[in-house]
């Protein structure tokens, strides 16, 4: 992805999503925009190999251009080559007690 595209995406989506996930698909149906994201296949330790995905998570996000937005994120799992231990990165995509991103929940709290 080129620099200009990354800059625009970082204005629309949380920076950690742009840095660690790729957009797999975007669907616009009536007044709803669904954005499907897949975690990048990057792990800092060469002893791990990709081992599929966790169950997809749906997160309500800020409206864009008057339309509801839902993010569908698939997080990766990795398996250690020798120990066969499965691991994944720990992302806090959803604000505790809600079905929204932490950024969106903070925004709504600030309105009160």
Measured distance CA(20)–CA(2) in Å, rounded = 15
Can you give the pLDDT at residue 112?
A: 42
Element at 35 (helix H, strand E): strand 32-39
Q: Is the pLDDT of residue 68 over 90?
A: yes
The separation between the first and the last C-alpha atoms of the chain, rounded to the nearest angstrom, is 38
Can you give the pLDDT at residue 48?
A: 87
Cα–Cα nearest to 70, from 57, 87, 55, 85: 57
Measured distance CA(112)–CA(109) in Å, rounded = 6
Structure tokens given for 51: 């081992």
pTM for the predicted model, two decimal places: 0.74
Can you give the pLDDT at residue 111?
A: 43
Write the pLDDT tens digit of every residue in 47-67. 888 888 888 888 888 888 899
Write the pLDDT tens digit of every residue in 5-41. 888 888 888 777 888 889 999 999 999 999 999 988 8
pLDDT range class, residue 3, cuts 50, 70, 90: confident
């Amino acid at each position: 992805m080129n620099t200009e595209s990354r800059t625009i995406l970082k204005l629309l989506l949380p920076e950690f999503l742009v840095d660690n996930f790729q957009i797999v698909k975007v669907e616009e149906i009536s007044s709803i925009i669904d954005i499907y994201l897949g975690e990048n296949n990057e792990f800092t330790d060469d002893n791990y190999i990709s081992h599929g995905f966790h169950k997809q998570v749906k997160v309500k996000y800020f409206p864009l251009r008057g339309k509801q937005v839902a993010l569908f994120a698939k997080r990766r799992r990795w398996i250690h080559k020798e120990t066969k231990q499965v691991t994944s990165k720990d992302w806090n995509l959803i604000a505790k007690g809600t079905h929204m991103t932490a950024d969106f929940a903070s925004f709504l709290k600030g309105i009160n």
